[in-house]
Amino acid sequence: MEDRKLSNLELGRITPEEYILQPDSGIVVILDNIRSAHNVGSIFRSADAFGVDKIWLCGICACPPSAEIHKSALGAENSVPWEYSSDTLSVLDNLKTDGYTVLSVEQTQKALELQDFAPAKCGRYALVFGNEVDGVQQSVVNASDGALVIPQFGTKHSLNVSVSAGLVLWHLTAFRLTGENKANTSQSAD
Q: Which of 60, 63, 105, 102 is nearest to 82 (CA)?
A: 63
Q: Are 103 and 144 in contact (CB under 8 A)?
A: yes
Q: What's the CATH number where 159 sits? A: 3.40.1280.10
* Residue 8 within a domain: no
* Residue 116 within a domain: yes
Q: Which of 63, 187, 62, 73 is nearest to 120 (CA)?
A: 187
What is the tally of structural domains in the chain?
1
What's the predicted TM-score (pTM) here? 0.91
Distance CA(51)–CA(181), nearest Å, equals 20
Domain that holds residue 115: 21-178
* Residue 75 within a domain: yes
* Residue 128 within a domain: yes
Q: How far is CA 77 from CA 32, 49, 58, 161, in A?
A: 17, 12, 15, 17
* Residue 185 within a domain: no
Looking at every residue in the chain, the average pLDDT score rounds to 93
Q: Are 144 and 128 in contact (CB under 8 A)?
A: yes
- Note the pLDDT tens digit of each residue in 131-159: 989 999 999 999 999 999 999 999 998 89
Query: Does 181 score more than 60 pLDDT?
Result: no
* Least confident among 11-15, 64-68, 173-177: 173-177
Distance CA(119)–CA(96), nearest Å, equals 16
User: Band of the pLDDT at 98, cuts 50, 70, 90?
Assistant: very high
